[in-house]
């Protein structure tokens, strides 16, 4: 496919944007990223006019696809016409929070913020303020945004320059699905662990699902030691498990939950939700400071609420989950026939093929990191792009089914995998 305009745009961007992008993962595709001109339904069109089946879907926020229903478009246009924002409360913030609290069993109160990162930063601060403790247990290879408390390596060191080592001292990384490691962390540090911060599914490391009993063990350890359990549902929220989120699917009730992506309907958003007694520790009800000029932005609130109401009233989850099942089944046939050492992973409307080396489904982030990552990134993905299929920017990021996708998109994608794998 012709990519001259994308190449030229990237060349220009390198002069004015660090690495030519505004988020690091966007620069991952080789030899340069495709610049997108527009989207429709389950497709994107790049700056050179090439059309792709899009499984990136904004890295998760676009549950409905690129064509928004009339009700969502009307809500956004109406709010914009009334004035973009005020720095004062609006009724929409209340209605959106009521919707989330009504459908997610563990959530009684909500505080809206502006990104998933901001949500996890605020949740960790809240947990420390509520418990009076310092340390946070996180999962190795879990991703909780670009924040100092979680950018920590498997060795317990900062994973990025600019983070003081003293920050990392309060973060305890343990392998996902490793109950013994979780027990050891609490045995050593239990009296000073404010919270366990965990994704219900590792969704930024090739999609790794929990083994039976793992989340129960973590819940029990947190309760036994007086720590909070925080579920990061920025990716899984209102995607896995439908309106009850992944905690509904797995039958769990965390103390705090972080949200993002879908609850903004394609606009910047994040949120913390949880029990009233904990949430009311946030200012101005309590003493744990949290604030933001753009929090509860009216346009975002309108887009997010209308998106969730549309999903509640229509067959959105039936549609995306059925296509997800169809995709994974078709890919499993391809992989079994052509590359049995690889693994098809995912659930509901998440899917991925991880280039494992032994055909065993990954149990933690290390298993995904030990896969043929460069082959996926540098050989496989570019060929899929040439075949008209836009996959996530690297081996680790999830891929997403949207309401705008069709069975034809699924069939074309399975055929492309069969040709390229």
pLDDT for 149: 84
For residues 389 and 251, membership in a common domain is answered with: no
Considering the candidates 205, 261, 352, 363, report the single residue annotated as catalytic.
261
CATH number at residue 48: 3.90.1150.10
Burial (0-12, 13-18, 19+ Cβ within 10 Å), 387: middle
For 60: left if phi > 0, alpha if psi spans -120 to 50, otherwise beta; the answer is left
Catalytic annotation present for 143: yes
Determine the Cα–Cα distance for residues 132 and 125; give it in Å rounded to an integer: 10
For residues 49 and 102, membership in a common domain is answered with: no
Token pair belonging to 223? 């309760």
Which parts of the chain register pLDDT below 50?
none
Question: Which domain does 104 fall in, by range?
Answer: 70-312
Determine the Cα–Cα distance for residues 263 and 247; give it in Å rounded to an integer: 16
Considering the candidates 46, 178, 232, 348, report the single residue annotated as catalytic.
232
Q: What is the total count of domains within the chain? A: 2
Q: Which residues contact 399 (CB under 8 A, 6 or more apart)?
A: 55, 56, 346, 350, 351, 352, 391, 392
pLDDT for 257: 98
For residues 268 and 383, membership in a common domain is answered with: no
Burial (0-12, 13-18, 19+ Cβ within 10 Å), 132: exposed
Token pair belonging to 285? 């009800």
Considering the candidates 143, 317, 403, 417, report the single residue annotated as catalytic.
143
pTM of the complete model beyond 0.85? yes
Catalytic annotation present for 417: no
**Chain centre to alpha carbon of residue 147:** 15
Say if CB 110 and CB 100 are below 8 A apart: yes
- Within 13 Å of residue 234, how many CA atoms lie on the same side as its CB? 30
Token pair belonging to 197? 């911060």
For residues 329 and 308, membership in a common domain is answered with: no
Determine the Cα–Cα distance for residues 311 and 297; give it in Å rounded to an integer: 21
Q: What separation in angstroms does the CA of 321 have from each of 72, 296, 380?
A: 22, 30, 25
For residues 380 and 360, membership in a common domain is answered with: yes
Out of 266, 290, 312, pick the residue that ends a domain: 312
Determine which helix (DSSP H) or strand (DSSP E) holds 264, and give its type and residue range: none
For residues 147 and 16, membership in a common domain is answered with: no
Token pair belonging to 226? 């007086």
Q: Which residues contact 180 (CB under 8 A, 6 or more apart)?
A: none
Do you know the residue count of the chain? 421
pLDDT tens digits for 205-225?
A: 989 999 999 999 999 999 999
Q: For the stretch 93-125, what's the b/e string if a residue is b when 16 or more beta carbons lie within 10 angstroms of its beta carbon?
A: beebbebbbebbebbebbbbbbbbbbbbbbbbb
For residues 302 and 368, membership in a common domain is answered with: no
Q: What is the 3-state secondary structure (H, E, C) of 65-109?
A: CCCCCHHHHHHHHHHHHCCCCCCCCCHHHHHHHHHHHHHCCCCCE
Say if CB 150 and CB 142 are below 8 A apart: yes
For residues 143 and 247, membership in a common domain is answered with: yes
- Beta bridge mates, 198: 231
pLDDT for 167: 85
Contacts 24+ apart (CB under 8 A), 367-370: 367/208, 368/141, 368/202, 368/205, 368/206, 368/208, 368/395, 368/396, 369/141, 369/205
CATH number at residue 229: 3.40.640.10
For residues 306 and 398, membership in a common domain is answered with: no
Give me the phi and psi of 53, to 5 degrees please.
-70, 125
Look at the block and give the residue holding tokens 């609006």.
90
Say if CB 314 and CB 291 are below 8 A apart: no
pLDDT for 134: 96
Determine the Cα–Cα distance for residues 36 and 6; give it in Å rounded to an integer: 8
pLDDT for 127: 98
Catalytic annotation present for 232: yes
For residues 383 and 328, membership in a common domain is answered with: yes
For residues 278 and 184, membership in a common domain is answered with: yes
């Amino acid at each position: 496919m012709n990519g001259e305009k994308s190449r030229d745009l990237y060349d220009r961007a390198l002069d004015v944007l660090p690495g030519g992008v505004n988020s690091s993962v966007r620069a991952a595709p080789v030899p340069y990223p495709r610049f997108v001109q527009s989207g429709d339904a389950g497709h994107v069109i790049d700056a050179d006019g090439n059309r792709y089946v899009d499984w990136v879907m904004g890295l998760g926020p676009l549950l409905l696809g690129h064509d928004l229903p009339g009700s969502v478009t009307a809500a956004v246009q109406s709010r914009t016409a009334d004035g973009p924002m005020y720095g004062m409360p609006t009724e929409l913030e209340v209605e959106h929070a009521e919707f989330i609290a009504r459908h997610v069993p563990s959530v009684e109160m909500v505080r809206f913020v502006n990104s998933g990162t901001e949500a996890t930063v605020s949740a960790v601060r809240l947990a420390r303020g509520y418990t009076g403790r310092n340390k946070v247990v996180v999962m190795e290879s879990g991703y909780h945004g670009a924040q100092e408390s979680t950018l920590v390596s498997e060795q317990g060191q900062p994973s990025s320059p600019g983070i003081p080592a003293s920050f990392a001292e309060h973060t305890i990384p343990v392998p996902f699905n490793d109950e013994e490691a979780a027990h050891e962390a609490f045995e050593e540090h239990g009296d000073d662990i404010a919270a366990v911060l965990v994704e219900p599914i590792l969704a930024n490391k090739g999609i790794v699902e929990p083994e039976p009993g793992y989340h129960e063990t973590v819940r029990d350890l947190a309760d036994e030691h007086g720590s909070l359990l925080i579920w990061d549902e920025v990716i899984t929220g209102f995607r896995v498990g439908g309106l009850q989120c992944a905690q509904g699917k797995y039958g769990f009730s965390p103390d705090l939950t972080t949200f993002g992506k879908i609850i903004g309907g394609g606009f910047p958003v994040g949120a913390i939700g949880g029990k009233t007694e904990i949430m009311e520790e946030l200012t101005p009800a309590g003493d744990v400071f949290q604030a933001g000029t753009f929090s509860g932005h009216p346009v975002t609130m309108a887009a997010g609420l209308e998106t969730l109401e549309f999903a509640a009233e229509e067959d959105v989850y039936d549609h995306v989950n059925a296509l997800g099942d169809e995709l994974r089944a078709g890919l499993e046939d391809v992989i079994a026939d052509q590359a049995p050492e690889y693994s098809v992973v995912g659930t509901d409307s998440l899917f991925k093929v991880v280039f494992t080396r032994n055909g065993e489904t990954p149990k933690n982030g290390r298993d995904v990191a030990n896969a043929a990552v460069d082959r996926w990134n540098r050989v496989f993905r570019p060929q899929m792009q040439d075949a008209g299929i836009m996959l996530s920017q690297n081996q680790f990021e999830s891929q997403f089914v949207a309401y705008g996708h069709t069975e034809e998109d699924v069939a074309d994608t399975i055929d492309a995998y069969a040709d390229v794998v």
